Chain A
Amino acid sequence: GESVGLHLPTLSVQEGDNSIINCAYSNSASDYFIWYKQESGKGPQFIIDIRSNMDKRQGQRVTVLLNKTVKHLSLQIAATQPGDSAVYFCAETTFNKFYFGSGTKLNVKP
């Protein structure tokens, strides 16, 4: 099947630093991308999304960047907090297809 993202890496950052989580997608026809956060024992939580006609979208403390040329998606978290510790999944969708990436675990050190 399609492959989105990398094998699960772990990113450790110091509290207060900025975090960047990366994701590679394989389907150039994908037109909608989403970042989810999943804390232990909970379901994925929507963070931010972006459509293929945009390169950048900002939310509260989060920014998503889309580079369609190299099929790359990134999530930037400003001033990372302990509550940001979780697994982060990117997801891509085309018509009638929806794929999650393999995820990145974010550890925030106090």
Chain B
Amino acid sequence: DTEVTQTPKHLVMGMTNKKSLKCEQHMGHRAMYWYKQKAKKPPELMFVYSYEKLSINESVPSRFSPECPNSSLLNLHLHALQPEDSALYLCASSQAQMDQPQHFGDGTRLSIL
């Protein structure tokens, strides 16, 4: 079982909907990450939070809005997504930013109708 928990496991939404993806870890890690992974491709970094502050935004469209309410939780708010945003969204955490192993959740499979 993964130590990073993501909910929901699957999500289907229309292009006008608003939904949120949630991620939780209780390992005391201070860095948390969102990735997007398309089929048969490597994960692509979207956002990094370090000590609950956004430290990296990899030029992600504003229809994706991250939030880190506390050191254990990470959300990704979704609004007005496009069909090409359908993908597996992975959350990860590490003790410190970048130069420590990242622990991944099993992702949310998102489908945009």
A: residues with CB less than 8 A from B are 5, 8, 31-32, 34, 36, 41-46, 49, 89, 93, 95-103
Contacts and interface: CB of A to CB of B under 8 A. Distances in A.
Contacts of B43: 44, 89, 100
Given A46-B101, A93-B99, A103-B42, 13 more contacts: A5-B42, A34-B101, A36-B104, A43-B4, A43-B105, A44-B102, A89-B43, A96-B55, A96-B97, A96-B98, A97-B98, A100-B42, A100-B44
A55 B37 CA distance: 30
A42 B101 contact: no
Contacts, number: 51
A101 to B, nearest CB: 6
B contact face: mostly helix, strand, loop, or mixed: loop
Interface in B90-110: 90, 92, 97-99, 101-107
A100 B104 CA distance: 14
Interface string B70-113: 00000000000000000000101000011101111111000000
